[in-house]
C-alpha cells in the first residue's frame, strides 16, 4: 500500500508544481505584454486576474483620445533630428504618465501624436470621464512644460517657441485585441469610433479650440464645462455629427460666467441655424465679450466668416445646418 500512496502523492505534487509554474509563466507573459501600455498598478491587476483578459478581438464601448502637436513640421525644420527627439521625449513622457494615472491604455505613438484608449483591457465604467480629465490635465502639463522651455531659452539666449497640442475624443463601440500577424502583433483598437476620434482631433485646428469631443462622450461628461461647436460631416462619414469643445472640469461648469456664456452661445447657434444672420452676429459679439478669457476668438471668427459667405451665397432650401468638412 505504501508504493501506490507514494506514487499518488508524487503525481499530485508534480501536478501542483506544474500548475504553479504555468500560472507564474502566464503572469510573466501578461506583465511583459502589457507593461508598455498600462500603468504598473493596472499591469499587476491584469496579471492577478488573467481570466478578465480576452485577447484577439473583443467588442467594447470605449473612449478614444488622439493628441497631436501643432506646427510640428515647422518645429522639425528648426531643430536637428537629435534635438527634436529629445524634445519630444521630454514632452511625451509626462503626458503619457497622465494617461496611465487616469486608467488609460497607450495604443501607440505616431511621431508627435499619442493615441490612447479607456475601458480595455480592464473594465472602466468611467472611461469617458477619465479620457476627458486626462486631456484637461495634459493641457495643464503643457503650460508648465512651456514655462520650462521659456526659462531655458532665456538662459541660453535663444528664441522661445511654445508648443501647443490639440485633442480629439470620441466614445462608442470598438473592437480591441491583438491585431497583426503571427510574427508581430500589437494590442490595439479598430472601428468607426476610432476613425472619428482622429477626425475630431484634426477639427480642433479648424475651430480654434484645444479639445473637441463627440456627442457620445459629451453625454457621459455633461457636467464638465463644454460648448456645442457645430453639426459637422467629417471626412469618411455620410451623416452629420454634433461636436463639442471641452473647456474645463465640473468646477468651471458651475461658474456663473461660464453658464452665461453657454446660454449666449446656444442662442448664437440657434440664430445661425435659423439663418437669422443679423441676430447671429449680435450673439457672436456678446459671446466674445462674455468668454474673453476662454480663447474662443478663432471659433467666433470662423462663424463670422461663414455668415459673410452665406449672406452672399444663400444655403440651399433643405439646409439643416450641417457643415461638410473639406479637410481631415
Listed by start position, the domains of the chain span 56-223, 255-328
Closest-CA residue to 277 (of 248, 311, 247): 311
Residue 107 CA, chain-centre distance (Å), reads 11
Closest-CA residue to 197 (of 268, 132, 247, 145): 132
Higher pLDDT, 87 or 187: 87
Burial readout 305-316 (b: 16 or more C-beta within 10 A, e: otherwise): ebbeeeeeeeee
Backbone angles phi, psi at 225, to 5 degrees: -85, 115
Rounded CA gap, 104 and 100, in Å? 5
**Domain 56-223 annotated CATH 1.10.490.10:** no
Provide the pairing of β-strand 165-180 with 211-214. Answer: parallel
114-165 pLDDT per residue, tens: 999 999 988 999 999 999 999 999 999 999 999 999 999 999 999 898 999 9
Query: C-alpha grid cell for residue 162?
Result: 511654445
Residue 75, pLDDT score: 79
- 18 has pLDDT over 50: no
- 49 has pLDDT over 80: no
Rounded CA gap, 301 and 309, in Å? 12
The arithmetic mean of pLDDT across residues 253-273, rounded, is 98
Residue 83 CA, chain-centre distance (Å), reads 27
Residue 27, pLDDT score: 59
The model carries a pTM of 0.85
Higher pLDDT, 327 or 37: 327
Within the chain, strands assigned E span 58-69, 105-110, 113-118, 165-180, 185-190, 211-214, 225-233, 241-248, 322-324
pLDDT exceeding 70 applies to what percent of the chain?
81
Q: Which DSSP state fits 324?
A: E
Average pLDDT score, the chain: 87
In 3-state terms the chain splits into helix, strand, coil percentages (rounded to 5) of 55, 20, 25
Rounded CA gap, 108 and 7, in Å? 52
Amino acid at each position: 500500500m505504501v508504493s501506490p500512496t507514494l506514487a499518488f502523492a508524487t503525481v499530485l505534487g508534480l501536478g501542483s508544481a506544474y500548475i504553479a509554474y504555468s500560472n507564474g509563466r502566464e503572469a510573466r507573459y501578461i506583465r511583459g505584454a502589457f507593461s508598455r501600455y498600462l500603468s504598473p498598478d493596472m499591469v499587476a491587476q491584469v496579471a492577478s486576474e488573467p481570466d478578465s483578459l480576452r485577447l484577439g478581438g473583443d467588442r467594447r464601448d470605449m473612449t478614444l483620445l488622439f493628441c497631436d502637436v501643432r506646427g510640428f513640421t515647422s518645429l522639425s525644420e528648426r531643430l536637428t533630428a537629435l534635438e527634436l527627439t529629445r524634445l519630444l521625449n521630454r514632452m511625451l513622457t509626462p503626458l503619457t504618465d497622465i494617461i496611465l494615472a487616469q486608467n488609460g491604455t497607450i495604443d501607440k505613438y505616431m511621431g508627435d501624436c499619442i493615441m490612447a484608449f479607456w475601458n480595455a483591457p480592464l473594465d472602466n465604467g468611467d472611461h469617458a470621464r477619465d479620457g476627458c480629465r486626462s486631456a484637461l490635465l495634459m493641457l495643464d502639463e503643457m503650460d508648465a512644460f512651456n514655462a520650462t522651455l521659456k526659462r531655458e531659452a532665456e538662459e541660453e539666449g535663444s528664441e522661445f517657441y511654445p508648443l501647443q497640442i490639440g485633442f480629439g475624443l470620441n466614445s462608442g463601440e470598438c473592437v480591441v485585441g491583438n491585431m497583426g500577424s503571427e510574427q508581430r502583433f500589437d494590442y490595439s483598437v479598430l472601428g468607426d469610433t476610432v476613425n472619428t476620434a482622429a477626425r475630431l482631433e484634426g477639427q480642433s485646428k479648424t475651430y480654434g479650440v484645444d479639445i473637441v469631443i463627440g456627442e457620445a462622450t459629451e453625454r457621459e461628461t455633461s457636467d464638465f464645462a463644454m460648448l456645442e461647436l457645430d453639426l459637422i460631416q467629417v471626412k469618411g462619414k455620410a451623416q452629420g455629427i454634433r461636436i463639442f469643445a471641452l473647456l474645463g472640469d465640473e468646477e468651471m461648469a458651475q461658474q456663473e460666467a461660464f453658464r452665461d456664456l453657454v446660454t449666449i452661445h446656444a442662442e448664437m447657434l440657434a440664430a445661425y441655424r435659423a439663418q437669422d444672420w443679423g441676430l447671429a452676429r449680435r450673439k457672436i459679439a456678446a459671446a466674445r465679450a462674455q468668454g474673453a478669457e476662454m480663447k474662443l476668438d478663432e471659433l467666433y471668427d470662423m462663424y463670422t466668416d461663414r455668415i459673410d459667405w452665406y449672406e452672399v451665397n444663400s444655403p440651399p432650401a433643405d439646409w439643416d445646418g450641417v457643415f461638410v468638412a473639406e479637410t481631415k
